[in-house]
Amino acid sequence: MTDWQPTASLDSLRRRAVLMQRVRGFFVERGLLEVETPCLGHGGSTDVHLASLSCRAVTPAGSETLWLQTSPEFHMKRLLAAGSGPIFQIARSFRDGEVGRRHNIEFSMLEWYRPGWSLDALVEETQALIREVLPFDPGPTRKRRYRELFGEVLDIDPFEVDIASLRRLAGERGGLDMAESPRDECLDLLMSLAIEPELGRDGIDVVLDYPASQAALARRHQDPHDGAWVASRFEVYVNGLELANGYDELTDVGEQRARFADDNRARREAGLVEVDVDERLLAALDAGMPEGSGVALGLDRLIQLALGKSRLEEVIAFPTPRC
Amino acid sequence: MANYSTNEFKGGLKVMLDGDPCAIVENEFVKPGKGQAFNRVKLRNLMTGRVWERTFKSGESLESADVMDLDMEYLYTDGDMWHFMKTDGSFEQYAVEKKALGDSGKWLKEQVVYTVTLWNDNAISVSPPNFIELEVVETDPGLKGDTAQGGSKPATLSSGAVVRVPLFINQGEVLKIDTRSGEYVSRA
């Protein structure tokens, strides 16, 4: 048996350690507090497209189900509501089933929050962090609107195109039957197969103004360009690799509760397990979380890019198949 | 027949696609930042050897293919069919068509053990061992001092394959050949 050995070379692990220090230095210098929050929680992410791992644990309350966190978001937001000010964390996060060249079930999420900051200011800081870590100049930072990207690459308007044409295009591009697929599933397929590979070539691409239906935990606003409702979030791509996902954070407890409920309804309809809603997060929002922006960045991917590796496992000592 | 869902896909898994048995070569999980996940899957069609790339929605499933790789010894050909025998002591024989034999036809030698792939108990392909020892049945005597051809010449082997061999090789010698590249390795 030789698979006891690490998949990353010791040289890569040494270089990784140096980059982790640089990331910490970047935030400490900017006055953010490093925090550590639990991997386990009584609630988990209800996001229909994320599969949470759960376990049974014996606690003072007896035997309970606890959820391995898909990102440290909920706990960090509770700290914000408690008045922490700007915070960052490198948190081990877990997403069931996500294994591949760019995915591992457990991974290091670099997540930080900036109370009082606009999404634009956070985009600026995110690209500065990426430049701090990459040993090469990735090229200019470009802001790309979701709607315009679909127009440029696929010659469609993702907000207006009729569902029949969208399904046909997605089916052709993917070589699979999309005849029953909802709108966002078609858009996600086209984003993954046709648009992502074009992003981040000779530059850092920041995609903005996602459809309002893909808001996750971001606010929604009306696009000043065309009046369409869009999600106030961004994603950052370098070399076709999605690195980061930022939100103008939702702080309205009623809206947050409704989105959790919608997610769990969609989960029931799709035959997926429902995830316990994080009541303590809702209580924190109810008590009042400062408005602001936050972003989650896949640190393993950024290190993969910095080290010029083609597979995530080349920068992780023991990926899930060898854990 | 069992079904495999995308989260059970892995290299080597045998599944049915468009009516043909296929082996999964690679399964790549793809997902836009916040949306639906898909699997980009490379599959080798075991009937044709061709590699297909397909996209599946995560959670979709494919029927498993009743495909087995078995060790079998080559016995003989009657001109229409090529006959192999299982090496598990059962002496069970399988007749293989020319189409299923494919390129392996040029590496056949009696009593050598091949991997025969069966689908629903029919032979669909034959793979030779990586190295095989075959006799030279025809080759020119090497011309002394002629290095213009890189010091090699063609030789016809007992199985019918023609390979490049060093000039010093003579008719009747037994050579070790790498069947994957079709290249001479050494004298046996």
B57 and B85: one domain?
no
**CATH code of the domain in which A310 resides:** 3.30.930.10
Instruction: Give the end of a domain, one of B63, B83, B105.
Output: B63
Confirm or reject contact between B145 and chain A (CB < 8 A): no
Residues 23-62 of B with CB under 8 A from A: 27-38, 40, 53-58
* pLDDT at residue A226 in the model: 87
- Sorted by sequence, the CB contacts under 8 Å of residue A71 that are 6+ apart come out as A45, A91, A93, A109, A111, A296
Is residue A105 a part of any domain in this protein? yes
B123 and B98: one domain?
yes
The segments of chain B whose pLDDT lies below 50 read none
Is residue A176 a part of any domain in this protein? no
Residue A311's domain comprises 10-137+253-322
Residue B7's domain comprises 3-63
pLDDT digits (tens, 9 = 90+) for A35-66: 999 999 999 999 999 999 999 999 999 999 99
- Chain B nearest CA to A101, separation (Å): 7
Confirm or reject contact between B10 and chain A (CB < 8 A): no
Is residue A181 a part of any domain in this protein? no
Is residue A237 a part of any domain in this protein? no
Structure token pair of residue A132: 């701090």
* pLDDT at residue B146 in the model: 53
* pLDDT at residue A97 in the model: 86
* pLDDT at residue B149 in the model: 56
**CATH code of the domain in which B113 resides:** 2.40.50.140
B103 and B136: one domain?
no
pLDDT digits (tens, 9 = 90+) for B64-101: 999 999 999 999 999 999 999 999 999 999 999 998 99
Q: Along chain A (323 residues), what's the average pLDDT of each consecutive run of 10 residues?
A: 92 98 98 98 95 95 96 98 98 93 95 97 98 96 96 95 96 90 93 92 96 91 91 95 95 95 94 94 97 98 97 96 92
Contact list, A234 vs chain B (CB under 8 Å): none
* pLDDT at residue B19 in the model: 92
Confirm or reject contact between A100 and chain B (CB < 8 A): yes
Is residue A236 a part of any domain in this protein? no
Is residue A127 a part of any domain in this protein? yes
Instruction: Give the end of a domain, one of B127, B143, B160.
Output: B127
Is residue A187 a part of any domain in this protein? no
Contact list, A101 vs chain B (CB under 8 Å): 28
| Domain total in chain B | 3
**CATH code of the domain in which B58 resides:** 2.30.30.30
Instruction: Give the end of a domain, one of B11, B33, B63.
Output: B63
- Sorted by sequence, the CB contacts under 8 Å of residue B8 that are 6+ apart come out as none
pLDDT digits (tens, 9 = 90+) for A264-319: 999 999 899 999 999 999 999 999 999 999 999 999 999 999 999 999 999 999 99
| Domain total in chain A | 1
B28 and B56: one domain?
yes
